[in-house]
Chain A
Amino acid sequence: MKRNNGAAPGSPGDAIYIALTRGAVALMVLLGVGIVLSLTLNAWPSIRETGARFLVSAAWNPVTHDYGALSSISGTIASTLIAMVIAVPLSLVIAFFLVELAHPLVARPVSYAVELLAAIPSIIYGMWGLFVFAPFMADHVQPALGQILGFLPLFSGPPMGIGVLTSGIILSLMVLPFITAVMRDVFSMVPGVVKEAAFGMGSTTLETAWKVTVQYGFSGLVGAVFLGLGRAVGETMAVTFVIGNAHRLSPSLFAPGNTIASTLANEFTEASEPLYLSALIELGLVLFVMTLIIQVLAQLWIDRARKKAGGGL
């Protein structure tokens, strides 16, 4: 540490400078701690009232004050899973395309376009999802899926357009740019020598990518997936528009459902009873804990990849 190695030791400006930056960082840390404390404190009446039942009960009745988070949690998990199942393979091949296949003149605009997908605000995805994509799903995609896979409970039920499946697909579009960007960086961190060695052994581009690049950058790729997961779990407006907001458990992905975030967005301003409000805040606390775990895992995996590559990323 080079403390006070400036030529003006004890300069009053420096004291203020250090105090100000310390204050700002303290504020930042306070923000993190404050979120945990304030949410827990305000969720406490509901935690005391419902206990562990909150997490496993599917009931949600503001009139009788019977609150359970199960339908919101399962909807969050279902829509996030769909998003990841679609977005992870797509991101992987797009990153592969950008780094290994495309000429820089092609790769640059393509990666720019993918990044712009991330810049579109959530509510725009919601508008497009509700008025354009959901009708498209109802008219074309869901009837076809129902015909081919209708024997599975997952794809049974009337094609309404709005529902868990549509939300999952829109979520996948929204997290795609984040996952692709990290995967692209991970791919381009792999030293050329390693790849050239594989090519020299007579590997095809695919084999080099799969057996060398992916293995080499594995921890970074896992980090990228967690990063996308964290985004998908907390995404609010787009999901609120298209998921249908029904507090019920249904095996069908065509059925309307809800997520933690969509429940909050829909019901928060209607919550007049203190216990109702507290239950909603507890729901938020559950979401916060979920994203916290995901974020910590993402950071740990990405850090591991970064250390291995010696900086970059």
Chain B
Amino acid sequence: MNALRPRPSTGRRMADQSVRILAVGASLLGIFFLAWILLEVSRRGIGAVNWDFFFAPPAPPGFAPAGLSAPIVGTLLMTGLSVLIGVPVGVLSGVFLSEVARGTRLAAGVRFCINVLMGVPSIIMGLFVYTILVLPLGQFSGFAGAVSLAVIMLPVVARTTDDMLTLVPNALRESALALGAPRWRVTFDVVLRAAKTGMITGVVLAIARVSGETAPLLFTSLNSVYMPTSLAEPTSNLTVTIFNYAMSPYADWQQMAWGASLLITVSVLGVTIFARTAFRERTK
């Protein structure tokens, strides 16, 4: 009935206005919570960060010097090993989907499987690695921890590779093949090289994500207060240390947990932001 009126009626305009205000409010709310979390982590964590924090081993409550050298090394070791396992297998799977079996029903099925795997909670991945590595060997180990992180990273890397390689124009492949290059050289020297920036971004984001994981490590690497000497035994790591320290009644341990939280937040967000901005500038 309003079809001939030149402007929306007051009621409709007010509905429109209120949803606009709501939309701005919701966006501000998101930013507010981000700021709140980052501010609290910085404010409470900064007091714990000093020389000892990085270079002294964990100590019982009330003892000084106390630091997190062992968890830092353990987290770096396990994340590093998980990258060595997860990235090659993930990239090769992505190459299979995009280059070897492109357009086949098999690729579609595997792609579906990968998408579902990406949604499997990290705690289930930890549980799975527990049942295949910890239970049969009768030993929690840093190696099992690294495998659980790799298993979480795998589908993410495969999906990124698949997505990025699909974007590479076919003309590149065809010209390389026409020059007489075997398929493996086409993939590794031409296609992967063309998709390099996108791939690196995706892989770095996946690494950032797993380096902050806690749940899978609870069942696999467990935790330890000693500097890791071998990945065949329970291995010290930052996130489980945060969990244990935060749940303890000791003020100095809780303070240390905030320091570790700050360290994790700064590294994970730092790497995430770096990967994204570096990529964005390259593509411009």
From the candidates A18, A90, A102, name the one contacting B29 in the complex (CB within 8 A).
A90
From the candidates A18, A24, A31, A292, name the one contacting B151 in the complex (CB within 8 A).
A31
Question: Considering only CB atoms and an 8 Å cut-off, how many residues of chain A contact the other chain?
Answer: 90
Contact with A along B256-268 (1 / 0, CB 8 A): 0110010011001
Q: Are A94 and B219 in contact (CB under 8 A)?
A: no
Query: What CA separation (Å) do A113 and B37 show in the bound complex?
Result: 12
B221: shortest Cβ distance to chain A, in Å?
Answer: 12
From the candidates A101, A231, A269, name the one contacting B222 in the complex (CB within 8 A).
A269
Of A9-17, A49-57, A139-147, the one with at least 4 CB within 8 A of chain B: A9-17
A22 at the interface (CB under 8 A from B): yes
Given A28-B155, A96-B23, A234-B124: A39 in contact with B31 (beta carbons within 8 A): no
From the candidates A123, A240, A291, A295, name the one contacting B239 in the complex (CB within 8 A).
A123
B59 at the interface (CB under 8 A from A): no
Query: What CA separation (Å) do A152 and B122 show in the bound complex?
Result: 36
B207 at the interface (CB under 8 A from A): no
Contact with A along B97-130 (1 / 0, CB 8 A): 1011101100000101111110111111101101
Contact with A along B266-280 (1 / 0, CB 8 A): 001100110010000
Q: Are A28 and B121 in contact (CB under 8 A)?
A: no
Given A28-B158, A97-B26, A127-B41: A22 in contact with B96 (beta carbons within 8 A): yes
Q: Are B214 and A121 in contact (CB under 8 A)?
A: yes
Contact with B along A288-300 (1 / 0, CB 8 A): 1001101110110
At the interface, is chain B mostly helix, strand, loop or mixed?
Answer: helix
Q: Tell me the nearest residue of chain B to A204, going by C-beta.
A: B16
Query: What CA separation (Å) do A128 and B148 show in the bound complex?
Result: 26
A230 at the interface (CB under 8 A from B): yes
From the candidates A132, A204, A261, name the one contacting B215 in the complex (CB within 8 A).
A261
Q: Are A130 and B246 in contact (CB under 8 A)?
A: yes
Query: What CA separation (Å) do A6 and B44 show in the bound complex?
Result: 60
Query: What CA separation (Å) do A219 and B44 show in the bound complex?
Result: 43
Query: What CA separation (Å) do A5 and B158 show in the bound complex?
Result: 25
A148 at the interface (CB under 8 A from B): no
A21 at the interface (CB under 8 A from B): yes
Of B47-55, B64-72, B179-187, the one with at least 4 CB within 8 A of chain A: B179-187
Given A7-B180, A35-B120: A121 in contact with B151 (beta carbons within 8 A): no
Query: What CA separation (Å) do A21 and B2 show in the bound complex?
Result: 62
B24 at the interface (CB under 8 A from A): yes
B33 at the interface (CB under 8 A from A): yes
Q: Are A14 and B112 in contact (CB under 8 A)?
A: no
A25 at the interface (CB under 8 A from B): yes
B134: shortest Cβ distance to chain A, in Å?
Answer: 11
A193 at the interface (CB under 8 A from B): no
B172 at the interface (CB under 8 A from A): no
> Which of A29, A35, A39 has the most chain B CB atoms inside 10 A of its CB?
A35
Q: Are A35 and B124 in contact (CB under 8 A)?
A: yes
Chain B neighbourhood of A281, CB < 8 A? 127, 131
Q: Are A264 and B16 in contact (CB under 8 A)?
A: no
Q: Are B121 and A97 in contact (CB under 8 A)?
A: no
Q: Are A101 and B34 in contact (CB under 8 A)?
A: no
Chain A neighbourhood of B276, CB < 8 A? 112
Chain B neighbourhood of A236, CB < 8 A? 121-123, 214-215
Instruction: Report the number of A-B residue pairs with Cβ-Cβ less than 8 Å.
Output: 274
Q: Tell me the nearest residue of chain A to B115, going by C-beta.
A: A299
From the candidates B27, B122, B151, B257, name the one contacting A97 in the complex (CB within 8 A).
B27
Q: Are B212 and A121 in contact (CB under 8 A)?
A: yes
Question: Considering only CB atoms and an 8 Å cut-off, how many residues of chain B contact the other chain?
Answer: 98
> Which of B8, B181, B215, B269 has the most chain A CB atoms inside 10 A of its CB?
B215
B66: shortest Cβ distance to chain A, in Å?
Answer: 18
B76 at the interface (CB under 8 A from A): no
From the candidates A13, A93, A265, A295, name the one contacting B218 in the complex (CB within 8 A).
A265
Q: Tell me the nearest residue of chain B to A113, going by C-beta.
A: B31
Q: Are B37 and A120 in contact (CB under 8 A)?
A: yes
Contact with B along A266-310 (1 / 0, CB 8 A): 001100000000000100100110011011101100000000000
Q: Tell me the nearest residue of chain A to B239, going by C-beta.
A: A123
Query: What CA separation (Å) do A69 and B23 show in the bound complex?
Result: 40
A237 at the interface (CB under 8 A from B): yes
Within 8 A of B (CB), among A118-134: 119-128, 130-132
Chain B neighbourhood of A294, CB < 8 A? 119
Chain A neighbourhood of B179, CB < 8 A? 7
A291: shortest Cβ distance to chain B, in Å?
Answer: 6
B169 at the interface (CB under 8 A from A): no
Given A13-B182, A291-B120: A94 in contact with B239 (beta carbons within 8 A): no
Chain A neighbourhood of B155, CB < 8 A? 28
Chain A neighbourhood of B254, CB < 8 A? 131
Given A236-B215, A268-B218: A117 in contact with B100 (beta carbons within 8 A): no
Q: Are A94 and B93 in contact (CB under 8 A)?
A: no
Q: Are A265 and B97 in contact (CB under 8 A)?
A: no
Within 8 A of A (CB), among B127-172: 127-128, 130-132, 135, 151, 154-155, 158
Query: What CA separation (Å) do A312 and B254 show in the bound complex?
Result: 46
> Which of B20, B44, B125, B177 has the most chain A CB atoms inside 10 A of its CB?
B20
Query: What CA separation (Å) do A180 and B33 show in the bound complex?
Result: 15
From the candidates B117, B131, B213, B269, name the one contacting A28 in the complex (CB within 8 A).
B117
Chain B neighbourhood of A122, CB < 8 A? 212-215
Q: List 7 A-B contacts (CB under 8 A).
A: A18-B100, A28-B158, A31-B117, A35-B120, A237-B215, A291-B124, A295-B116
- Across the A-B interface, give the 3 residue pairs with the lowest CB-CB distance, nearest first: A234-B121, A121-B212, A24-B92
